[in-house]
């Protein structure tokens, strides 16, 4: 089964063609991603209006490139998958409308994919991960611990009550004048810093739910930075190292709680899976490995290009749904907000 996937929910314009075999194995035929980072850099974050216009300008060409690289024609496809949310609504409209137009023109089924579901299922494309597994999703827009029990069967054990982890990295970078996107820059600075110099809080640690809160950490960092301003290069490195260590400690604590909740409900997960741009951080990777090791499971970390936003994950989620006969009508609406719990409910009604 061949599916074209289109992703435009944030600042990546992406399209891909993925094949799903009858045995459930996945193969990526093409995966084209155009990042808009340079267009948003001077604003220190994604500007929704600029993002939507950039998607309009780029998407046709990105889809054509994905089709050409996969060496397939529209007639060869079994379905067209478009990310229908959650995300910045202007971009979602562009991608989903394009997916609908292709589906209509070529008489192919449309699959309106939840972007979070696509992140959740990527480990099945890359590593054939078996259900049920525990997912740690941490990007610029999302921070969640999920139980992934089947296609359309997700349980949320925790999430952020304010900022996402990637967002906290980006805000830290902005505060310290490092640039955007902040995650890699903060990680680079942290390598030369002292993680114990500044006493920063570990928000939510020890709590019985698996939720995160990052905004207090950001405020504490601002106060500490204010105390030592003007900042020397070493001050910046030490602030980054202290911030990153606090995040690492929080991730370890929250994941241990999330995994405990998982085991109480479903028994041992087959693996701990990570997704989202934050999973590229080596210090965070290390704590994920340790937490998985502690309970005797392995960490599945898809390659960075498939952890961050891409079209292959949308195509794959589309293929998984198509294999179950779960397709959508052309009047399906784009959604800025679309919690995974809604996907689960809808599937339960339809299967």
Binding site for ligand KG4 (CB under 6 A): 10, 139-141, 166-167, 169-170, 181-184, 187, 276-278, 280-281, 308-309
C-beta separation of 274 from 136 below 8 A = yes
- Interface residues for Zn ion in 166-195 (CB under 5 A)? none
85 binds, among Zn ion, ligand KG4, none (CB under 5 to 8 A by kind): none
235 binds, among ligand KG4, Zn ion, none (CB under 5 to 8 A by kind): none
Q: Which one, 43 or 64, has the nearer CB to ligand KG4?
A: 43
Q: Which of 232, 223, 183 is nearest to 199 (CA)?
A: 223
Q: Which one, 139 or 244, has the nearer CB to Zn ion?
A: 139
334 binds, among Zn ion, ligand KG4, none (CB under 5 to 8 A by kind): none
238 binds, among ligand KG4, Zn ion, none (CB under 5 to 8 A by kind): none
Shortest distance, position 119 Cβ to Zn ion, whole Å: 6
296 burial level (CB within 10 Å; 0-12, 13-18, 19+): exposed
What is the rounded distance in angstroms from the CA atom of residue 130 to the CA atom of residue 18? Answer: 19
252 binds, among ligand KG4, Zn ion, none (CB under 5 to 8 A by kind): none
* Inter-CA distances, 341 with 152, 165, 262, Å: 9, 21, 16
Site membership for Zn ion, residue 309 (CB under 5 A) = yes
Shortest distance, position 198 Cβ to ligand KG4, whole Å: 18
Reported as type and span, the H/E element at residue 32 is: strand 26-35
* Inter-CA distances, 318 with 80, 115, 326, Å: 7, 11, 9
Shortest distance, position 73 Cβ to Zn ion, whole Å: 29
- In sequence order, the 6+-apart residues with CB closer than 8 A to the CB of 167 are 140, 141, 214
What is the rounded distance in angstroms from the CA atom of residue 157 to the CA atom of residue 260? Answer: 10
Q: Which one, 225 or 288, has the nearer CB to Zn ion?
A: 288
What is the rounded distance in angstroms from the CA atom of residue 96 to the CA atom of residue 82? Answer: 5
Residue 1, helix vs strand vs coil: coil
Shortest distance, position 115 Cβ to Zn ion, whole Å: 6
Q: Which one, 132 or 181, has the nearer CB to ligand KG4?
A: 181
248 binds, among Zn ion, ligand KG4, none (CB under 5 to 8 A by kind): none
What's the chain's length in residues? 351
C-beta separation of 309 from 7 below 8 A = yes
User: What string marks each residue from 110 to 149 as x (binds Zn ion by CB under 5 A) or -?
Assistant: -----------------------------x----------
143 binds, among Zn ion, ligand KG4, none (CB under 5 to 8 A by kind): none
C-beta separation of 73 from 112 below 8 A = no
Residue number closest to ligand KG4, CB atom? 183
Stretch that binds Zn ion, among 70-78, 170-178, 281-289, 306-314 (CB under 5 A): 306-314
Site membership for Zn ion, residue 224 (CB under 5 A) = no
Q: Which one, 167 or 309, has the nearer CB to Zn ion?
A: 309
Phi and psi for 26 in degrees, rounded to 5?
A: -110, 155
Shortest distance, position 169 Cβ to ligand KG4, whole Å: 4
**What residue spans of the chain are helical by DSSP H?**
37-41, 48-70, 89-106, 115-127, 165-175, 182-190, 215-228, 233-266, 282-294, 304-307, 311-323, 340-350
Task: Using CB under 5 A, list all residues that contact Zn ion.
Answer: 139, 309
């Amino acid at each position: 089964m061949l599916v074209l996937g289109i992703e435009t929910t944030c600042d990546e314009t992406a399209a891909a063609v993925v094949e799903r075999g009858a045995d459930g194995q996945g193969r990526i035929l093409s995966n084209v991603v155009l990042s808009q980072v340079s267009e948003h850099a001077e604003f220190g974050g994604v500007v929704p209006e600029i993002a939507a216009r950039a998607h309009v300008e780029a998407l046709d060409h990105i889809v054509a490139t994905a089709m050409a690289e996969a060496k397939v024609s529209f007639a060869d496809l079994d379905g067209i998958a478009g990310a229908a949310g959650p995300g910045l609504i202007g971009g979602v409209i562009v991608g989903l409308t394009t997916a609908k137009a292709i589906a209509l023109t070529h008489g192919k089924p449309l699959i309106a994919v939840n972007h979070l579901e696509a992140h959740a299922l990527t480990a099945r494309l890359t590593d054939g991960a078996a259900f049920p597994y525990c997912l740690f999703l941490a990007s610029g827009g999302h921070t969640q611990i999920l139980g992934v029990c089947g296609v359309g069967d997700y349980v949320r054990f925790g999430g952020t009550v304010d900022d996402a982890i990637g967002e906290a990295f980006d805000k830290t970078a902005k505060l310290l004048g490092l640039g955007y996107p902040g995650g890699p820059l903060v990680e680079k600075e942290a390598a030369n810093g002292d993680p114990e110099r500044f006493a920063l809080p570990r928000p939510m640690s020890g709590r019985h739910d698996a939720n995160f809160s990052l905004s207090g950490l950001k405020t504490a960092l601002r106060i500490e930075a204010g105390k030592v301003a003007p900042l020397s290069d070493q001050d910046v490195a030490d602030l980054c190292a202290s911030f990153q260590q606090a995040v690492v400690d929080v991730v370890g604590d929250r994941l241990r709680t999330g995994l405990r909740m998982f085991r109480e409900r479903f028994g041992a997960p087959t693996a701990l899976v990570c997704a989202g741009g934050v999973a590229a951080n080596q210090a965070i990777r290390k704590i994920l490995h340790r937490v998985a090791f502690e309970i005797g499971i392995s960490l599945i970390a898809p390659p960075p290009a498939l952890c961050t936003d891409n079209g292959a994950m949308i195509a794959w989620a589309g293929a998984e749904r198509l294999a179950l006969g779960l397709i959508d009508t052309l009047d399906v609406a784009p959604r800025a907000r679309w919690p995974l719990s809604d996907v689960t409910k809808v599937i339960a009604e339809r299967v």
